[in-house]
Amino acid sequence: MNKTVITTPAGAAAMAHSSGMVVGAVHAIFEGAALIAGDVVRFVYTGMERAEQRRRLRGLDDRLLNDIGLSRGDVSTEVEKPFWRA
């Protein structure tokens, strides 16, 4: 195994700078992954909310639908949408 021996202050500074770059790169990767994971969680949560709202909308009677200005056809169109579509 080949070991690096640092014999000068400049060498120590170069090694520290190199380590900092690696740590910075790793941090950026994890930060990016966390942002993506957050987007996925929001996407799934929003989809679940939409699905629940559509189930409730389907359960409303014609009188209540009329009160909110929707027809049974409007409801059918809405509840047939996939969860990811607004």
Tens of pLDDT, residues 31-81: 999 999 999 999 999 999 999 999 999 999 999 999 999 999 999 999 999
Cα 74 to chain centroid distance, Å, stands at: 30
One-letter amino acid at 21 equals M
Helix (H, G, I), strand (E, B) or coil at 59: coil
Read off the tokens for 20.
Answer: 């900092």
> What are the residue boundaries of the structural domains of the chain, listed by start?
10-79
Residues near 47 by Cβ (< 8 Å), separated by ≥ 6?
A: 83, 84
- The verdict on pTM exceeding 0.75 is no
- Tokens 């629940």 locate to 52
| pLDDT recorded at residue 1 | 55
